[in-house]
């Protein structure tokens, strides 16, 4: 194959991965929207509780978006910047750059936030316990 054909194949793969990321980000945006609508239309919760839940939902959406941006940059690096040959693409995707490891902390922080929040229903009231033991 010629280098232009290799670049065309790599660009097609990159666009497919980009489309996948946009679909996932769309699902996360839909979940965020539904969560915010439910938080602010349900008047059973106290005002402070609704604000905390909304803030945490928005923070988790932002962290998810950072994670998808990180994935996009990794695929771009592997298939566009180092995609002249299949060997260079494979070696680029085989080794993680330092910034990839640093930015992947966003997905870990998102999981930590999600796992640390316990919503407990008690007497028709929602209490939030962060880092509950």
pTM over 0.75? The answer is: no
| DSSP secondary structure string for all residues of 10-70 | HHHHHHHHHHHHHHHHHHHHHHHHHHHHHHHH-TTS-HHHHHHHHHHHHHHHHHHHHHHHH
Q: Model confidence over 88-115: pLDDT tens digits?
A: 877 777 677 676 676 678 878 888 888 7
DSSP letter (8 states) at residue 104: T
Structural domain boundaries in the chain: 3-130
Please, are residues 66 and 103 in contact by the beta-carbon 8 Å criterion? yes
Calpha distance 69→71 (Å, rounded): 5
Q: Model confidence over 51-77: pLDDT tens digits?
A: 888 898 899 888 888 877 777 787 788
């Amino acid at each position: 194959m010629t280098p232009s054909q290799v670049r065309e194949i790599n660009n097609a793969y990159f666009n497919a991965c980009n489309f996948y990321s946009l679909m996932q980000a769309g699902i996360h945006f839909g979940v965020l929207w539904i969560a915010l609508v439910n938080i602010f239309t349900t008047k059973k919760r106290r005002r402070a509780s609704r604000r905390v839940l909304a803030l945490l939902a928005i923070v988790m959406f932002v962290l998810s978006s950072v994670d998808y941006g990180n994935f996009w940059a990794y695929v771009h690096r592997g298939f566009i910047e180092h995609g002249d040959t299949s060997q260079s693409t494979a070696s680029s995707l085989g080794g993680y750059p330092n910034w990839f490891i640093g930015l992947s902390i966003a997905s870990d922080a998102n999981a930590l936030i999600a796992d640390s929040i316990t919503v407990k229903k008690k007497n028709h009231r929602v209490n939030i316990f962060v880092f509950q033991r």
